[in-house]
Amino acid sequence: MASEKFIEVDGLRTRYLEDGRGSPALLLHGATLGSSADVWTRNLPEFASRGFRVIAFDQPGFGLSDNPPDHSVAYRKRFIFAFMDALKIDRAHLIGHSQSGRIAVDLAFAQPQRVAKLVVLGTGSLLPPLPGGGKPNEAREGEEGGAAEPTLEETRALLEANLYHHDLITPAVLAERHRMSVGKNFEAFAARKQSGRDKAEKAEKTATPLWQRLAACPAPLLLLYGQQDRGAAAERAALAKQRYPGINLHLLDRCKHLVQWDAAEEFVALSTRFLSNY
């Protein structure tokens, strides 16, 4: 069973869940309102039983970790290696969901010596756009949430939009998700949205999108998407396979955006086989 721990990283009290022994793997939650390390609780024991030291932490401004003074994606990206340093982990597998999948790939390009292998779940900005569909909006990825602190029913609605299997939303799961969506976490969410807009306004329009550089990724990469995920994910995944025939990409049926919930068994099986044998 995963244990809950706290550690100070860059002056911030940071909560994390840890289970197992072996090759270290960091599980990075997305940026949707209510996200936290708890999105991985059903997966941690399965990874641990297969010989991995799995660690999921609340990123700054999420869950029970402190809110940071800097709410940018760039800060959260730097924080991942600072967290690894605090735990004395030199190199790890990175498993990133949604916005954090793009962050994980960015880190592999920036410091490949620290990233062993990558697993990406439901990261829309790593897929090519449909013809005539426009450019994937990386800055807005992870901004799911309203303009005001959500009610319990609004939290349920947001979860239902991201899940195929609504029976997974038990009263305990809903209560925990709502707790992670209000108070200081909503304040951080609002600050992140503003930070994302500021970045989008300053972004270089000539920058090469990350999805066009996947074939050059310096770390072995596994991509997992839900067949029923938003943003025409299935169609865009097919385009990615056409563009990069050798890419390791799987579509999981009866699965929406929360791949690690909707397709928990397939996610663990594919990921652990990939991380162990690639």
Longest dimension (CA), the chain: 48
CATH number at residue 212: 3.40.50.1820
Q: Give the mean pLDDT of 133-153.
A: 75
Examine the pLDDT at 164 and tell me if it is beyond 50: yes
pLDDT in tens, 120-142: 999 999 999 998 765 555 445 76
Examine the pLDDT at 209 and tell me if it is beyond 50: yes
In 183-202, which positions are buried (b, 16+ CB within 10 angstroms) versus exposed (e)?
eebbebbbbbbebbeeeeee
Instruction: Report residue 258's pLDDT band, with 50, 70 and 90 as the boundaries.
Output: very high
* pLDDT > 90 fraction of the chain, expressed in percent and rounded: 86
Contact 50, 91 (CB under 8 A): no
Cα 225 from Cα 228, distance rounded (Å)? 9
- At 159, list the tokens: 């979860």
- Kindly state the DSSP code that residue 131 receives in the 8-state scheme: T
* pTM for the model: 0.94
State the sign of the Cα–Cα–Cα–Cα dihedral 268, 102, 76, 152.
Answer: negative
Determine the distance from the C-alpha atom of residue 144 to the mean position of all C-alpha atoms in its chain, rounded to a whole number: 13
* Counted domains in the chain: 1
Examine the pLDDT at 200 and tell me if it is beyond 70: no
pLDDT in tens, 75-120: 999 999 999 999 999 999 999 999 999 999 999 999 999 999 999 9
When the pLDDT of each residue in the chain is averaged and rounded to a whole number, the result is 92
- Domain with 148, as residue range(s), is 3-128+137-277
